[in-house]
Structure 1
Amino acid sequence: MVLKKSDLYRSLWKSCDELRGGMDASQYKDYILTLLFVKYVSDKAKVDPNTLVDVPPEASFDAMLAAKGQKDIGERLNKVITKLAEANETLRNVIDLADFNDEEKLGKGKDMQDRLSKLVTIFNDLDFRGSRAEGDDLLGDAYEYLMRHFATESGKSKGQFYTPAEVSRVLAKVVGIGPGTRQDQTVYDPTCGSGSLLLKVAAESPRGITIYGQEKDNGTWALAVMNMVLHGNADADIRKGNTIADPQFTTNDRLRTFNFAVANPPFSDKAWMNGLEQTYNRFEYGRPPAKNGDYAFLLHVLTSLKSAGKAAIILPHGVLFRGGAEATIRRNLLTRGFIQGVIGLPANLFYGTGIPACIVVLDKENATGRAGVFMIDASKGFVKDGPKNRLRSQDIHKIVDVFTRQVEVERYARMVPLAEIADPKNDYNLNIPRYIDSSKPEDLQDLHAHLHGGIPNRDLELLGGYWEAFPLLRGQLFAPNRPGYSDLTIDVEKVQQVVLDTPAFQRFADEARHLGAEWLAAHRERLAGITADTKPGDLIAAIGDDLLARFKPLPLLDEYDIYEQLMSYWHDTMHDDVYLIMNDGWVDAAKPRKTIEDKERKLSETPDLVVGSGRSATKYKMDLIPPALIATRYFAEEQVQLDELTAIAEEKSRALEEYIEEHAVEDGLLADAMDEDRVSRALAAARLRIAKREKSDPDEIDALEHVLGLYDAEAAAKKAVKEAQAQLDLATLKKYGDLTEDHIKTLVLDDKWGAVVVRRVAGEVDALTLDLVARIQELGERYAATVEDLNEELETLEGKVAAHLAAMGVNS
């Protein structure tokens, strides 16, 4: 039984993080990723004699493991890594940069010995022998998880080595790489960092693509080379050096050209001209300002494209509107049709900066005759994720769909004619808000409605989508007041029920549920066929795209919101489930296992089911099928009885609490049984003995006897619940052993995955309803009282005040 991937990664990060001591995350990553690399190539060499990396026995992870606990472990690890580099020329000065015997970073003596021994132990638990290196395997996900955390922990100045995976996917897709891309086509990243962006691009080309990259930082370059090997792209050409001053891909004093290019260069680099001698004809459309290198990188990318080449580059928004030399360059690029599109992204996405950025899409192939620039304002589509913002699956899909199809979407995307951009009032300024107003319509207060009542029809027209979907609903809720105004014909509190009872709404909700169920039925066979050869990325892409397509024709509901419900569940649960099924098979993945308590790996699991009590208790984890699903399907009567007993126990507890609250007050009948505002059973029993001995107030004795009776009733009810729960848990545990593969598939596909997705779809329908109800209630309450009504109320209150003053003998 393998661990869930999410649990494995969390434990890996927690262990690594706790072991790093005072070392900066940007330094610590070099040690962790080097160990990850050695472990991966060692595991692959055991199962693949033709692996691209030669791993002699003395240069393997097993040799590292043999050094565990040794006083000279740091020196021995360095020797293992050196031998691996010597056996593979391409790994020299790549994997041997981190010094595992550095006392300043790793501690001295026993401190270093323990720290490195624990690290080796952590990585020994990972098994990459079955890793397929196809972007959704154990290694790919583990590497991505670690890199994201290292970038987060490294801070602004040191986190630029990593481009968020979500943004990388957008660039890869909008640049036009896909299933039709040929293996002999090329992609280039002049500022490739750790290579994550290039790898995301490569993942979009199932037939393969030839990779080229350059990185100036020595340590980050080494990470990129290792990253390529780890992900099955050992033949990628990743070179070292300053791209602007010393480009490595040149031919006869000209830049080498590529089919595609992607880049996330340092924003507004003030030192871009350092060492610059040869321009390689990059600045024919204008020379960038000396203190800002944004256009230097953009022009380098443009010059590095073939005549039909395409590129996507991440840049700060300033490139869209800054004047001076940059305005000249921008004008020249636009008039020549090189800029295909601009996509505005949310702020705080990147690890090197918190400012908002944009993606500039370049296209040489269709530059001639280009009549406009396609713009997207995607700045509002994100989710907060710790200290950073993150694009959701729905945000990525929407950006790519809209850009690829060049579909105009109100307040989101439009094709802006070049004539409009060139108009003197815009003067080739590409600032997105000039052309797309993404702000929500202002909620205006209507003074006339406040004075004379009625709800403005203007506000009701903004709810037009609802009236189109439910044609009779507006007439049920509103009646004409006077020209331009309507009255709510029912109490505000009744709006929700009227909406829910509307036949059109019920049909709408039924259709949404039907689409969800229909979608599940269409893919049930595919999901039931998950095996070790399944490609999870392809699986979720196929079923996700189909879900989105099915809901697209349905009015009101945003199909991307529906898609996000599936994708969030995929990331939270389904991905782990699929991984378990692929590795263990359906039957073994469903078997209960004892919880893991591993202090060395900092992994402590919360049990799903406990049998027995005290030290003899056995704790179980059910990774694939939660016990509640077994109970619901096979022990419905027992579960109902348990629920009834639980309700009785809760009622007994509530009665006890209310009785104590009523009488455990100063001078109350239980006052003498209190200790720090608490009446325990022991205190009540002790006080009762004293009260009887002293022949105290009979009412107090009755109260004490009553509270003890309530305590006994509560204890008996809780005991009944505990016994029923124990019996149900034993029956549930036994049932797991009786499940066939067909039973398991029914529980997972129908009761777990399908039920959750359908329920989440229904939740979107409910949310949409609540939005309508809330808006109608808001408008109804806003204009319910006119000025005349308020004046009448004021006069009434003034009269009451005057009467009270007169009664007190005060002249008003």
Structure 2
Amino acid sequence: MAIKKTELYSSLWASCDELRGGMDASQYKDYVLTLLFMKYVSDKYKGDPYGMILVPEGASFDDMVALKGDKEIGDRINKIIARLAEENDLKGVIDVADFNDEDKLGKGKEMIDRLSKLIGIFEGLDLSANRADGDDLLGDAYEYLMRHFATESGKSKGQFYTPSEVSQILSRVIGISDDTPQDASVYDPTCGSGSLLLKASDQAPRGLSIFGQEMDNATSALARMNMILHNTATAKIWKGNTLSDPQWKDESGQLKTFDFAVANPPFSNKNWTSGLNPEEDSFDRFVWGIPPEKNGDYAFLLHIIKSLKSTGKGAVILPHGVLFRGNAEARIRENLIKQGYIKGIIGLPANLFYGTGIPACIIVIDKENAHTRKGIFMVDASKGFMKDGNKNRLRAQDIHKIVDVFTHQRELPGYSRMVSLSEIAANDYNLNIPRYIDSSEAEDLHDLSAHLQGGIPNRDIDALAAYWRVFPSLRHTLFRTDREGYSRCLVPAAEVKTTILNHPEFRIFAEQSLQPFTAWCERAALDQIRPGDSPKQLIEQIGEDLLEAYEPVPLLDRYDIYQILMDYWADSLQDDVYLLVQEGWQAGRVLRELVAKKGEKLKEQPDLVIAKTKYKADLIPPALIVARYFAEQQAEIDRLQTELDSAAQALESYLEENSSDDGLLSDALNDKDKVTKASVTARLKLATDPEEIATLTQAKKLFDAETKAKKALKESQEALDQAVFQQYPKLSEAEIKTLIVEDKWLATLKACIEAEIERITQQLANRVRELEERYAEPLPAITRQVEALSEKVAGHLKAMGLEWTL
């Protein structure tokens, strides 16, 4: 059976991390990713004289496997890699990691064991069937490992990887479309491992011509391998310092210009002038001003602007400081704004990147329309993210919302707006986003009059207008006018949610909110998935359709609905789809036998155990088979489970009642201070007191009842498991589709959307309850209660002979 994405990723990371030992993750990644590359090209191209990579004799991963346990394993691995590198002009790319380095890998047996186990991790993977294109497992696995290595590498060593979520935004806001030709070029002057370039190229239907430069030697090698794994071996990646020694030049020696540019330069580089005199720059990059000597943010931005064609477009990640810092940077910023080069600014959440925790922004450049620009479109996306360990991550809905709003220049209160150049000029060309977009939450003000006289301010109720537009009569069910400007709540706080859920208008809303989902299910046609289909194209298509379907639905945020689908995709749906496009629907009949390696435990939980043999159902969980074909048997098992629970409870109660120190079962206690069936049976043979005999007999009877119930339950469960096991190979393709599509996928998504509908209701209920409790008792009433209680306390104290005066 084909490899599941999530299984591949997690097993690779867990195994590799376990073998890392004391080595820094930023170093260990070079070994792991090199072996992944070797395994992939060996599986895919070995024996293929026309393959993208030629695998000569003695230079495959199989030759590495033969070295497991070899005393010279490190040196021989180096030679195998060197042979493949020489054959494919990859010297300095795949041979960067030294597999014979005792300082990193240990000496003698430690090195032999570590490398042998590391090879063993990849040995069991068959990667020949997994395509290395925009829908591959390996390219994504490579990125997955880099993200984890970046997370583990620490502040100073995580810059080789830009989070995929941010890469997606950059690639989608620079104007690449379905009409973009393959010979259009994309450039990244600080390309790291190449993720930004690959994401941008993926946006074009036939890819783009890729150009990049990276200063770090090992990271540059990662980028080259990454390109090959993504089927872009023609990508051109140069090594070197972009600012002091740019490699991409035209015939006249000036900077080569490109159609698109994406970049995540090192933040606030203090050594950007190393090897460079900006006042005598032969490429005229600093005509709009020279950045501060100790801060190179604008140096990279100016380099990118100079490297774009007159119609070029780009997006650059920079720290927020570039938007408002003064002096030299203020002059550069003013000049760029006056030139019209800056199309937009997107403010991102803090703590997204691996090299720093400071907030960053994306500056979008558009030279083509610079002369007609009248404003800059700003987006404050700083509040849309999820926590992921010690970092923040953008969710699928955050990415989509940013791209939608920016692409369509859609103005949303507190989130985005077009800011005129005149307004920016009036603010001294300061681009700090909070100056133009107020994304702060409105303060929840208390009403003094309501606290004094009671009642809920109508302005607080009116603030829930979005709900009243959908539930017009619900407002009158919950509130009545009390006095001018104030209302009373008609429903006790504890009954607010139930009142809303049972209201006819809510029921109509709930039904109507599921109609777009029902229609979407028909259009998605998930039962038509065929081998060879593209999972990424599928999720993009059905995701966009679901997003559009929920656009007109009130109260529900369509991006929240979209996130439900994307979360389920990441959790399990993508694994199912990847199996189906590789194995076909017949994979639903397959139960995979789980066998642990000698001395190891199973890494997966079995779904079925038949005669001690353990099986995993990759597509159809046994519970779905049971629900559709064996509901009566399951009901009987549920009944037997209830009987067992009752028997166990009766036994426990009886033992507790009679097992105290002076209880009649105290003599039946075993060494562990617990009455057992064996101890009761043994004591019963010796007992002579009639009352004790009766107690022991009853205890034995309860033990026997529990044992009988356990046996009946076990036998019924084993019979059901056997029936389910035999049902799998009998399933027709139509039945498999029903079980997977209807019973598994769509049922799960529907339940999640229903939960989201209820969550919206919960928000309304919480607010109504909060307002009711806040103003339930006016201050005078509270004061009278306090006075009455104080008088009571004083009276009691006086009766006790205690009295004082204030």
**1:392-430 deviations in Å (ceiling 9; x for gaps):** 11111111111101111121111112222111xx22111
Task: Give the aligned partner of residue 455 of structure 1.
Answer: 456
Question: Could you tell which deviates more after superposition, 669-678 or 113-122?
Answer: 669-678
**Aligned equivalents of 1:160, 1:292: Cα separation in 2:** 17
Task: Give the aligned partner of residue 794 of structure 1.
Answer: 786
Task: Give the aligned partner of residue 71 of structure 1.
Answer: 71
Question: Could you tell which deviates more after superposition, 133-142 or 634-643?
Answer: 133-142
Task: Give the aligned partner of residue 169 of structure 1.
Answer: 168
Post-superposition shift, 1:257?
0.8
What does 1:304-453 correspond to in 2, within 5 Å? 304-423=307-426, 426-453=427-454
Q: Which amino acid letter does the alignment assign opposite residue 509 of structure 1?
A: A
Post-superposition shift, 1:686?
7.2
**Aligned equivalents of 2:387, 2:419: Cα separation in 1:** 31
The equivalent position to 1:713 in structure 2, one of 679, 687, 705, is: 705
Task: Give the aligned partner of residue 42 of structure 2.
Answer: 42
- Does 2:550 match 1:551? yes
Task: Give the aligned partner of residue 500 of structure 1.
Answer: 501
> Secondary structure of the residue that 1:798 maps to in structure 2?
helix
> Secondary structure of the residue that 1:98 maps to in structure 2?
coil
**Aligned equivalents of 2:398, 2:527: Cα separation in 1:** 29
**Aligned equivalents of 2:25, 2:231: Cα separation in 1:** 26
Task: Give the aligned partner of residue 289 of structure 2.
Answer: 286
Query: Does structure 1 conserve the Cα–Cα contact (< 8 Å) formed by 2:136 and 2:230?
Result: no
**1:493-533 deviations in Å (ceiling 9; x for gaps):** 22112111221211111112222222112112xx2232331
The equivalent position to 2:624 in structure 1, one of 623, 626, 629, is: 629
The verdict on how the C-alpha distance between 1:658 and 1:344 changes in structure 2, with shifts beyond 3 A counting, is farther
Task: Give the aligned partner of residue 750 of structure 2.
Answer: 758
Task: Give the aligned partner of residue 258 of structure 2.
Answer: 258
> Secondary structure of the residue that 1:74 maps to in structure 2?
helix
- Does 2:9 match 1:9? yes
Post-superposition shift, 1:715?
3.2
> Secondary structure of the residue that 1:368 maps to in structure 2?
helix
**Aligned equivalents of 2:332, 2:695: Cα separation in 1:** 89
**1:208-258 deviations in Å (ceiling 9; x for gaps):** 210000000111111111111121111111111101111111233421111
Task: Give the aligned partner of residue 267 of structure 2.
Answer: 267
**1:36-87 deviations in Å (ceiling 9; x for gaps):** 2222222222375322322212222222223233222222111111111221
Question: Could you tell which deviates more after superposition, 706-715 or 497-506?
Answer: 706-715
Task: Give the aligned partner of residue 646 of structure 1.
Answer: 641
Task: Give the aligned partner of residue 478 of structure 1.
Answer: 479
Query: Does structure 2 conserve the Cα–Cα contact (< 8 Å) formed by 1:684 and 1:707?
Result: no
> Secondary structure of the residue that 2:614 maps to in structure 1?
strand
Query: Does structure 2 conserve the Cα–Cα contact (< 8 Å) formed by 1:408 and 1:414?
Result: yes
> Secondary structure of the residue that 1:250 maps to in structure 2?
coil
Post-superposition shift, 1:661?
5.5
Query: Does structure 2 conserve the Cα–Cα contact (< 8 Å) formed by 1:562 and 1:761?
Result: yes
Question: Could you tell which deviates more after superposition, 427-436 or 799-808?
Answer: 799-808
Q: Which amino acid letter does the alignment assign opposite residue 770 of structure 2?
A: E
Q: Which amino acid letter does the alignment assign opposite residue 384 of structure 2?
A: G
Query: Does structure 2 conserve the Cα–Cα contact (< 8 Å) formed by 1:625 and 1:748?
Result: yes
Report how many residues are paired: 800
Question: Could you tell which deviates more after superposition, 296-305 or 18-27?
Answer: 18-27
- Does 2:763 match 1:771? yes
> Secondary structure of the residue that 1:44 maps to in structure 2?
helix
Q: Which amino acid letter does the alignment assign opposite residue 745 of structure 1?
A: K
**Aligned equivalents of 1:676, 1:666: Cα separation in 2:** 14
Task: Give the aligned partner of residue 804 of structure 1.
Answer: 796
Post-superposition shift, 1:303?
0.9
**Aligned equivalents of 1:179, 1:168: Cα separation in 2:** 19
Query: Does structure 1 conserve the Cα–Cα contact (< 8 Å) formed by 2:655 and 2:675?
Result: no
Task: Give the aligned partner of residue 141 of structure 2.
Answer: 142
- Does 2:528 match 1:536? no
Q: Which amino acid letter does the alignment assign opposite residue 62 of structure 2?
A: D
Query: Does structure 2 conserve the Cα–Cα contact (< 8 Å) formed by 1:134 and 1:203?
Result: no
**1:692-743 deviations in Å (ceiling 9; x for gaps):** 4467xx4x77666555544443333333222221111111111111101111
**Aligned equivalents of 1:397, 1:274: Cα separation in 2:** 39
Task: Give the aligned partner of residue 242 of structure 2.
Answer: 243
Q: Which amino acid letter does the alignment assign opposite residue 67 of structure 1?
A: L
**Aligned equivalents of 2:673, 2:554: Cα separation in 1:** 57
> Secondary structure of the residue that 1:255 maps to in structure 2?
coil
> Secondary structure of the residue that 1:242 maps to in structure 2?
coil
**Aligned equivalents of 2:670, 2:347: Cα separation in 1:** 63
**Aligned equivalents of 1:770, 1:151: Cα separation in 2:** 39
Post-superposition shift, 1:290?
0.4
The verdict on how the C-alpha distance between 1:430 and 1:690 changes in structure 2, with shifts beyond 3 A counting, is farther
Task: Give the aligned partner of residue 567 of structure 1.
Answer: 566
Task: Give the aligned partner of residue 129 of structure 1.
Answer: 128
The verdict on how the C-alpha distance between 1:212 and 1:660 changes in structure 2, with shifts beyond 3 A counting, is same
Post-superposition shift, 1:808?
3.3
**Aligned equivalents of 1:48, 1:397: Cα separation in 2:** 41
Post-superposition shift, 1:265?
0.5
Q: Which amino acid letter does the alignment assign opposite residue 295 of structure 1?
A: Y
**1:111-157 deviations in Å (ceiling 9; x for gaps):** 22222222222222222322322232221222122111111111111
**Aligned equivalents of 1:232, 1:579: Cα separation in 2:** 19
Query: Does structure 2 conserve the Cα–Cα contact (< 8 Å) formed by 1:12 and 1:601?
Result: no
How much is the aligned-residue C-alpha RMSD, in angstroms?
2.3
What does 1:513-524 correspond to in 2, within 5 Å? 513-524=514-525
Question: Could you tell which deviates more after superposition, 700-709 or 64-73?
Answer: 700-709
Task: Give the aligned partner of residue 488 of structure 2.
Answer: 487
Question: Could you tell which deviates more after superposition, 228-237 or 63-72?
Answer: 63-72
The verdict on how the C-alpha distance between 1:667 and 1:418 changes in structure 2, with shifts beyond 3 A counting, is farther
Query: Does structure 2 conserve the Cα–Cα contact (< 8 Å) formed by 1:26 and 1:150?
Result: yes
* Unaligned residue ranges in structure 2 (runs of 5+): none
Query: Does structure 2 conserve the Cα–Cα contact (< 8 Å) formed by 1:312 and 1:360?
Result: yes
**Aligned equivalents of 1:738, 1:11: Cα separation in 2:** 32
- Does 2:736 match 1:744? yes
The verdict on how the C-alpha distance between 1:475 and 1:743 changes in structure 2, with shifts beyond 3 A counting, is same
> Secondary structure of the residue that 1:598 maps to in structure 2?
coil
- Does 2:177 match 1:178? yes
**Aligned equivalents of 2:633, 2:501: Cα separation in 1:** 34
> Secondary structure of the residue that 1:38 maps to in structure 2?
helix
Question: Could you tell which deviates more after superposition, 56-65 or 159-168?
Answer: 56-65
**Aligned equivalents of 2:416, 2:658: Cα separation in 1:** 66
The verdict on how the C-alpha distance between 1:656 and 1:324 changes in structure 2, with shifts beyond 3 A counting, is farther
**Aligned equivalents of 1:112, 1:447: Cα separation in 2:** 74
Post-superposition shift, 1:645?
2.1
**Aligned equivalents of 1:210, 1:772: Cα separation in 2:** 52
**1:317-355 deviations in Å (ceiling 9; x for gaps):** 111111111111111111221111111111111111111
Q: Which amino acid letter does the alignment assign opposite residue 418 of structure 2?
A: M
Query: Does structure 2 conserve the Cα–Cα contact (< 8 Å) formed by 1:594 and 1:618?
Result: yes
> Secondary structure of the residue that 1:27 maps to in structure 2?
helix
Q: Which amino acid letter does the alignment assign opposite residue 292 of structure 2?
A: P
**Aligned equivalents of 1:108, 1:811: Cα separation in 2:** 85
Query: Does structure 1 conserve the Cα–Cα contact (< 8 Å) formed by 2:24 and 2:153?
Result: yes
Query: Does structure 1 conserve the Cα–Cα contact (< 8 Å) formed by 2:46 and 2:60?
Result: no
